[in-house]
Amino acid sequence: MTLSAADKEVLRQSLCALQRYTLGAILLERDNRTTDQLAAITEETAADVIYAIDTIADHAIFKWFEDNWTADWPVQIIMEGLDDAHTLCFPLGTKLEDTTLKCIIDPIDGTRGIMYDKRAAWILAAIAPQRGEDNTLGDIEVSAMTEIPTTRQWRADQLSATRGGGMQATAFDIRNNFKPAPLDLQPSQAHDVRHAFGTICRFFPAGSTLISQIEELLWDKLYSESSDGTPLVFNDQYISTGGQFYEILSGHDRFIADIRPLVFRVLDIEENLSAHPYDVCCALILEEAGCILEHPDGSPLNCPLDTTSAVNWVVYANQALADHIRPTLQTVLGRLVG
């Protein structure tokens, strides 16, 4: 199936509407529950641990699709919380073989942060023409991501893109019936990471020693000429891939890498602590904003559109940063993880 520019724009608006509805449901339920209630474990799947706050988002997503999805584009849902063996298609009753689109969703990316009201989480979603098990990240034509703010925030940002159509960004005032306002985001145009943010992810104790060694060696090789003791590069462990993407898109960060699967392979650690395809499903937004998102070896980032594959990724805010950091990163990885 080939999507026209008009088709993609309609689908972009649909994903944005889906996420605003889901955000509204989450905010409403959050007002009526305690932190302990939101953090209660409801299920453990092959992909992740599912908490009560995740279940709220799941129900909202199913409700929106049931009430709003058009029969013109029968769609298969691939989503965190749904095992691959369970197929969900809309309109309800649609057979998998009759679907023309595939929609991959992360209902809440950054659950741990938002359920303890520490930091904003994100709703992520993307759509690709249906190609069955052959679908990969490169097939995605439309994507959207919407912020789930903490209770201290009044604003929720929403970013979206269509392939070839650029990125769009809107800020919503959640105090005022989601009143929208234009949002101007610009990735960094810097050529290095001196005195700025660049991070290699290490969210859990597992593998953190080796990841720290990789990060330290990377910056030492790039910036060892600075010997005055001033920190040259700062890191920010934002436990949300969507949130990390936002930090790049907004110009806050210049480089982020998530190489946990590489490290876990070397250390023989179970890879369920890694990023999955639904975590990176908004890669298109970065591409449309001019950022460079790729595999750590420099090849295009690609993965199956499933819920279990482990994904390594690296993002540079611009091409100059990629040219600056990539060779040294690959040298360091070759030395420490092979």
What's the angle, vertex CA 75, arms to CA 87 and CA 4, rounded to 5? 150
Residue 123 near residue 145 (C-beta atoms within 8 A): yes
Report the pLDDT value the prediction gives residue 157, as an integer from 0 to 100: 98
Query: How far, in Å, CA of 197 to CA of 181, rounded?
Result: 28
Rg of the Cα trace of the chain? 20
Dihedral of CA atoms 29, 32, 36, 38 in degrees, nearest 10, equals 0
pLDDT digits (tens, 9 = 90+) for 267-308: 998 877 899 999 999 999 999 999 999 999 999 999 999 999
Give residue 83's pLDDT: 59
Domains of the chain, each with CATH number or no CATH = 5-182 (3.30.540.10), 196-336 (3.40.190.80)
Strands 75-79 and 49-51: unpaired
Calpha distance 53→28 (Å, rounded) = 11
Task: Report residues of the chain scoring pLDDT below 50.
Answer: 85
Rounded to whole angstroms, what are the CA distances from 176 to 147, 154, 173?
16, 9, 5
Phi/psi at 271 (5° precision): -85, 10
Q: Report how far residue 35's alpha carbon sits from residue 146's, in angstroms, rounded to the nearest whole number.
A: 22
* pLDDT for position 31: 77
Residue 224 pLDDT: 86
What does each C-alpha distance from 16 to 55, 131, 230, 295 come to in angstroms?
Answer: 20, 23, 43, 28
63 pairs with which residues across the strands? Answer: none
Residues 124/279, Cβ–Cβ less than 8 Å: yes
User: Are 275 and 241 a contacting pair, CB within 8 Å?
Assistant: yes
Q: What is the pLDDT of residue 310?
A: 95
